[in-house]
Amino acid sequence: MKKLKRAAALAAVVILLAMYGCTLIFALLDKEWALDFLWASLACTILVPVLLYAMILIYRLLKRSDDSEKDESGSSK
């Protein structure tokens, strides 16, 4: 499980860096289509980290409730 978490974290870092790089490139390009891609890239740059944070919070809440249910039923971890 630990290797899966590390791989997911590394993938998230690579995706975020790629999005930031694309945002910079689209901001510097002087093409008519670049403005549309810039806005899409800016939206993804904001929305993807927010969604990842929300997913982590939900996972922690669900994991905590699963752990408390196991403790209440008397089974060991």
- The confidence band for 76, taking pLDDT boundaries of 50, 70 and 90, is low
pLDDT at 74: 62
16, 20, 26, 29 alpha-carbon torsion, rounded to 10°: -140
- Where do the H-state alpha helices sit in 1-77? 2-28, 34-73
pLDDT at 70 > cutoff 90: no
- Tens digit of each residue's pLDDT (9 = 90 or more) over 26-69: 999 989 999 999 999 999 989 988 998 998 899 889 988 777 77
